[in-house]
Amino acid sequence: MPHLCLASASPRRLELLTSIDVDCDVRPVDIDETPLPGENPRDYVCRLAREKALAGATFSDLPVLGSDTAVVLDGEILGKPRDRAHALEMLSALSDTTHEVLTGVAVSGPQGLLEACVTTRVTLRAITPREAAAYWETGEPCDKAGGFGIQGRAAVFVSHIEGSHSAVVGLPLYETAELLERQGVALWMSDRAAVS
C-alpha cells in the first residue's frame, strides 16, 4: 500500500525513495517550468517543488512529494538539452569547472507544506569533444539537467563532489527523510522499529 504520492515522472526519484522503502503512488503533474523574470536558481527549484507538491495534493489523500533539480553554472540554469548541439555545448561549458546542483523538495501533508533546498558543488574534469560526442550517443544525457547524469556513465567525468550525492541524482535523501517523517510517512527504520 502506498505511503506517499510522488508528483514526478522521474525514475531516479522513484528509485531513491524505493531505496529507503517508501512505497509510492506515482502521479506526475504538469506545471509550467519556465523560470520567472529575475528569479534566482534557488527560488526557482523551491517554487517548482512547492507547485508540484500542491498540484499533487489536489488529487491525492496521501502526503505528496514534489521536487526539482537544476544545474547552475555562473548563476545560469542549465536545463535538459534541446538537442545534440545543445548537449555538447553544455558539456563543453561544464568541462574542467565546478558548478552547483540545486535540488528543492517539498512535501504536503498533515503538517502543511514542508520544504528543503540543498546545494551540492560538483567538479568535472576536462571532457574532450570526442568524449562528449560519445556520451551523447549513449542516449543518457537526453533527459538530464545539464546534459549529464552523475549516477550513470558520466560518473567518470566527476572528479570531486561537495555535498549530497543523492541530491545530484534528484532527491536529497537526508533532508527528504526528515520531511517525510514529520509528515508521518514511515521509512525503513520506522517499519523495522515497529516490528521489533
**Residue 145 DSSP code:** G
Q: Are strands 76-78 and 64-73 parallel, antiparallel or unpaired?
A: antiparallel
> Which residues are tagged catalytic?
68
Q: What's the pLDDT score for residue 189?
A: 75
Residue identified by cell 506526475 is 28
Answer yes or no: pTM beyond 0.85: yes
d(CA 69, CA 145): 7
d(CA 133, CA 185): 43
Per-residue pLDDT of the chain (196 residues; tens, 9 = 90+): 789 999 999 999 999 999 999 999 999 999 999 999 999 999 999 999 999 999 999 999 999 999 999 999 999 999 899 999 999 999 999 999 999 999 999 999 999 999 999 999 999 999 999 999 999 999 999 989 999 999 999 999 999 999 999 999 999 999 999 999 999 998 887 654 444 4
Q: 131-134 contacts: CB < 8 A, separation 24 or more?
A: 131/157, 132/87, 132/88, 132/91, 132/92, 132/95, 133/88
Are the C-beta atoms of 70 and 44 separated by less than 8 Å?
yes
Q: What share of the chain is helix, strand, coil (3-state, %, to 5)?
A: 40, 25, 35
Q: What's the pLDDT score for residue 188?
A: 85
Q: Which domains does the chain have, with CATH numbers?
A: 4-195 (3.90.950.10)
Q: What's the pLDDT score for residue 191?
A: 52
Sequence-separated (6 or more) residues with CB below 8 Å from residue 128: none
Give the distance between the most distant pair of CA atoms in the chain. Answer: 55
Q: What's the pLDDT score for residue 160?
A: 97
Position 78, amino acid: L
d(CA 8, CA 23): 14
Q: What's the pLDDT score for residue 194?
A: 47
d(CA 73, CA 70): 10
